Amino acid sequence: MVDDGSTDETKDILRPYFNKISYLYQENQGASAARNKGILNAKGEYIAFLDSDDMWVPEKLTKQVTVLENNSDVGMVYSNINHCDIAGNFIKKAYKDKLFQSGFIPEKVLLWKVNCGHPPTWLIRKKCFDEIGLLDTSFKMSEDREFSVRIALNYKIYGLKEPLTWVRIHNPDQRLGRSPAAERERYYFKFLDLLFQQHGRQPCVYRNKKKLLAGYYWYAGKAYLRDKDRKTARNRFWRSIRHYPFQLKSYIYLIPVSFGEPLFRLILNIRLLLNNWIRSLKKMAASK
């Protein structure tokens, strides 16, 4: 266990278990530095991460170890997530099954068609860290995205659709994901700059450069919209469209900053009705 500068009674509570666990303390340096310290001190063949407020289902490691032992060319196994409240009560399954796929699929990871960016769900061969490096401690956010893309560019990955990790949902105002939009945007494009610099010649990165830029301008626009900075949000959605004009969601989110919230809600409702209608048609066709 790595204690990243906790100020509570963590060490005293764990002291009776020191003969069973390895307790490592460091001054607060952030999640990536704590994980890296654990990796460097680990003696096993596989690496898994569990944050202090999250939970694994009892069979998580058994199922993931089985995958790695039966697939020598897979570098990482990941899974879906259940969201729960602070008391551990189930809220919902976090993601759709289609986001959990397997194989050498870096392009799908790059384009958000696969969701493998959550460290508490990972089981990774330790040798992968020796070969492609540790987590990048210069990122305050998006470090999990950066590493998951890096591992997908170098190894096969294996997605388990079932939720094997429970993640607590805290007060949204206290989440890192609620950081100011400008800070979020800075790390989005720090990630892209690093990606293009180190992997820009890889075919899947090179041919999707415009889509990636458009996607991150869209994410930035959403962040500014949440912060009620309509002017900057509008600018970012337009930049998204300029880089890749075929991304429908950029036009949809441009509406509230250009024409107002009521029209935006109307369009989202129409879109939801259309999606439900299409799903109903598919079910009817499958039942025949």
CATH for 93: 3.90.550.10
Q: How far apart are CA 89 and CA 73, in angstroms?
A: 37
Mean of the per-residue pLDDT values for the chain?
Answer: 91
Residue 78 has pLDDT above 90, yes or no: yes
Q: How far apart are CA 287 and CA 244, in angstroms?
A: 38
How many domains in the chain? 2
Say which range, 7-11, 34-38, 162-166, has the weakest mean pLDDT. 7-11
Q: Are 227 and 147 within one domain?
A: no
Q: How far apart are CA 155 and CA 150, in angstroms?
A: 9
Average pLDDT over residues 62-71: 98
Residue 261 pLDDT level (bands cut at 50, 70, 90): low
Residue 173 has pLDDT above 60, yes or no: no
Query: Final residue of a domain: which of 174, 208, 239?
Result: 174
Whether residue 34 is contained in a domain is answered as: no
Q: What pLDDT is attached to residue 35?
A: 96
Bin 135: left if φ > 0, else alpha if -120 < ψ < 50, else beta: beta
Query: Final residue of a domain: which of 152, 174, 196?
Result: 174
Residue 254 has pLDDT above 50, yes or no: yes
Average pLDDT over residues 116-121: 95
Residues in Cβ contact with 70 at an 8 Å cutoff, skipping those fewer than 6 apart: none
Average pLDDT over residues 184-190: 96
Average pLDDT over residues 188-199: 96
Average pLDDT over residues 172-197: 83
Q: Are 192 and 247 within one domain?
A: yes
Residue 259 has pLDDT above 90, yes or no: no
Q: Are 107 and 73 within one domain?
A: yes
Say which range, 44-53, 163-172, 186-195, has the weakest mean pLDDT. 163-172
| pLDDT 10s digits, 202-244 | 999 999 999 999 999 999 999 998 898 989 999 999 999 999 9
Whether residue 20 is contained in a domain is answered as: no
Residue 84 pLDDT level (bands cut at 50, 70, 90): very high
Q: How far apart are CA 255 and CA 257, in angstroms?
A: 6
Share of the chain above pLDDT 70, in %: 94
Query: Final residue of a domain: which of 147, 174, 201?
Result: 174
Q: Are 169 and 79 within one domain?
A: yes
Domain containing residue 102:
44-174
Average pLDDT over residues 194-204: 96
Share of the chain above pLDDT 90, in %: 71
Q: Which residue has the higher pLDDT, 267 or 236?
A: 236
